[in-house]
Homo-oligomer: A and B are copies of this chain.
Amino acid sequence: MPLLTSWIDSANAPDCPFPLNNLPCGVFSVDGSEARCGVAIGDMILDVTRLEEDGVIAPAEHPVFDVPYWNDFMDLGPDAWAAFRNNLIAMLGDGADADTRARIEPALVPMAEAVLEMPMVVSEYTDFYAGKNHAFNVGTMFRGAENALPPNWLHIPIGYNGRASSVVVSGTDVRRPWGQLKGPDDDAPRFAPSARFDIELEMGAIVGQPSDGPVTVDEADAMIFGYVLLNDWSARDIQAWEYQPLGPFQAKATATTISPWIVTRAALEPFRCDTPAREKELLPHLRDTGPMLYDIDLRVTMAPQGKPATQIVQTNYNVMYYSAAQQLAHHTTSGCAMNVGDLLGSGTISGPTKDSRGSLLELSWGGKEPMTLESGDTRSFIEDGDTLTLHGACHGDGYTIGFGACTGTLLPALKDPYAR
């Protein structure tokens, strides 16, 4: 698919992250005003809450954009999603007539003036472990190379429930957590700030339709509204002590940052690609039924406080072993009900090479091989004041599909978490 050209010129540049082909969904405010739903187009945000108020659009018989989140719109289902997208493409495309442009123009807000907020209410958050290089690397460090890949790993997309209350939008500062820590040679655990605070480079899939029983992989794919970048901040020292036998808990509960724009499945359609070859045949209910991963270039940059950023990771979502559709299908096998606004983390996306590893734990091999940044600083894990940013882009025929940055700065730990 080529670039769809818009009468909003800034959307037509080949490197603009928000061309007419994209139309991602977000929530924004200007000058502290009430948050509203918007769609990114070029360097502008289209205020769809205003368009609905003005009667220019009506996705449903009842208002769906009178709330500062996209859940009510997602609830309408795939036919409404497609109609809305097609309508915007017509109204913002360069074939739109002067009348249409006149009705749209008052609802365009310069993105530079807007603050981006959480695009949806997160119903529940599930995180998976579906990158094979990551699973092998981390498994080697936590359990040794012989037991690196658990016996179930090639048969089910391993997942665990995360904490929805921890999900924040890009730009939110993250406070270094305290936790219970015990090194392998310590006699007893102690309560202290995490000294091994890390990122995890992931994609997040957003469930846009509910289910109340097992769904097939195809049905699961159709339930997904869109994708965001996701950084699953992780305290490795808390994790190492707590995670057996029931999985990570407080190590993952400080924050999970998502990018502000939900890039719809429709926008990603031209970038579908296959999962890698299966090393063991999957059981029928989890088998691929078509290309359900996406070719999304991913990068991570790290900037010490007041210093320039260094790119520390470059990889692609297409290295994952399981697609979000397979993960969602597995999620429902037990009859587990899924709801609009559920967020599924892909698991850390690590490629096969060292510079494509999606966590500092892997990049510094548990702290044994510190990285040197362009600023001259060395890093094994995140230091106070560091800013970590995830970037993602699909490269189309003369256009780019961007997600907006997924960024956060680490604040120092509280001196006394119980001081009041």
A7 contacts the other chain (Cβ, under 8 Å)?
Answer: no
Could you say which residues of chain B place their CB within 8 Å of the CB of A249? 158-161
The CA-CA distance from A180 to B331 in the complex, in Å, is 12
Residue of B160, B164, B175, B188 near A247 (CB, 8 A) is B160
Main secondary structure of the interface of A (DSSP, over half): loop
Interface residue count for A (Cβ, 8 Å)?
64
Give chain A interface residues in 248-293, CB to chain B under 8 Å: 248-251, 253-255, 280, 283-285
Tell me if A250 and B333 are in contact (CB < 8 A).
Answer: yes
Say yes or no: A139-B245 contact (C-beta < 8 A), given A155-B189, A216-B418, A283-B180: yes
Copies of this protein in the assembly total 2
The CA-CA distance from A143 to B246 in the complex, in Å, is 13
Could you say which residues of chain B place their CB within 8 Å of the CB of A150? 244-245
Give chain A interface residues in 142-200, CB to chain B under 8 Å: 142-143, 150, 152, 155-156, 158-166, 175, 177-180, 182, 188-191
The CA-CA distance from A165 to B210 in the complex, in Å, is 11
Say yes or no: A165-B334 contact (C-beta < 8 A), given A159-B249, A244-B150, A246-B158: no
Say yes or no: A418-B177 contact (C-beta < 8 A), given A155-B189, A156-B242, A242-B158: no
Could you say which residues of chain B place their CB within 8 Å of the CB of A124? 124, 163-165
A336 contacts the other chain (Cβ, under 8 Å)?
Answer: yes
A238 contacts the other chain (Cβ, under 8 Å)?
Answer: yes
Give chain A interface residues in 300-341, CB to chain B under 8 Å: 330-331, 333-339
- Measured CB to CB, the closest approach of chain B to A123, in angstroms, equals 8
Where the two chains meet, the residues of A that have a C-beta atom closer than 8 Å to any C-beta of B are 123-124, 129, 139, 142-143, 150, 152, 155-156, 158-166, 175, 177-180, 182, 188-191, 213-214, 216, 235, 238, 241-251, 253-255, 280, 283-285, 330-331, 333-339, 414, 417-418
